[in-house]
A = this chain, B = another copy of it.
Amino acid sequence: MNFSSKLIEEGVNAFSSLPGIGKKTALRLVLHLLKQEKDITESFAEALLKMRSNIKHCKTCHNLSDSETCEICLDLRRDKEVICVVESIRDIMAIEETGQYRGKYHVLGGVINPLEGISPADLQIGSLLQRVDADQVKEIIMAISPTIEGDTTIFYISKQLKNRSVKISTIARGISFGGELEYADELTLGRSIVARVPYRKGSE
């Protein structure tokens, strides 16, 4: 594209360096900011700079946090004997949205993926084992994506924990609520038949 302005070109390049934003969308965003008052752009830039320089990783669960320890880890009402292990902080947000979980979390920071060069040493597995010992954790819930890499990671962690008396569970997999059987993929449908559960009135 011919922007006829170096400044606009730089702004467009800045936005289009973000994931999922192409040159056309970037130009739309740039023109939007240019139409607004200057202080809109200033407060936009300030919010991002403040966020990037002040954000911390919780030293216990590695969640993103405003302080040394995140709000969830500080919350005494939450059960610290149950830890939900997730890949990223986005998963914490998704689980918190449900309002169904009152334990703590542990963010691995990814899954074991030899093709992308992510080994167990790159993940927060060591600190998980320490927490299991320090807090007398009774249950670990693996809320990891059902992929080959996810399953490998669950298997690796369960092997590390085999000498400890901690119960390991994974989140239930099967057909989504509201999902139609005919559109479910074969693997999910097949496994959901193999892993069928006894029918209880009112459990649906």
Contacts and interface: CB of A to CB of B under 8 A. Distances in A.
Interface of A: 1-8, 10-11, 13-14, 17-21, 25, 27-34, 38, 40-55, 63-66, 70-72, 88-90, 92-93, 96-97
Nearest to A43: B14
A146 to B, nearest CB: 21
Interface residues of chain A: helix, strand, loop or mixed (majority): helix
Contacts of A66: 5-7
26 contacts: A1-B97, A4-B93, A4-B96, A5-B66, A5-B70, A5-B71, A6-B66, A7-B54, A7-B66, A10-B51, A11-B48, A11-B51, A13-B47, A14-B48, A17-B40, A18-B29, A18-B32, A19-B29, A19-B32, A20-B28, A21-B29, A34-B55, A41-B48, A41-B49, A41-B52, A45-B49
Question: What is the count of identical protomers in the complex?
Answer: 2
A44 B103 CA distance: 38
A93 B2 contact: yes
B48 A4 contact: no
Contact of A2 (B2, B31, B46, B96): B96
Given A10-B51, A14-B47, A41-B52, 11 more contacts: A3-B93, A4-B63, A4-B65, A4-B70, A5-B55, A7-B55, A14-B44, A18-B32, A41-B49, A44-B48, A45-B49
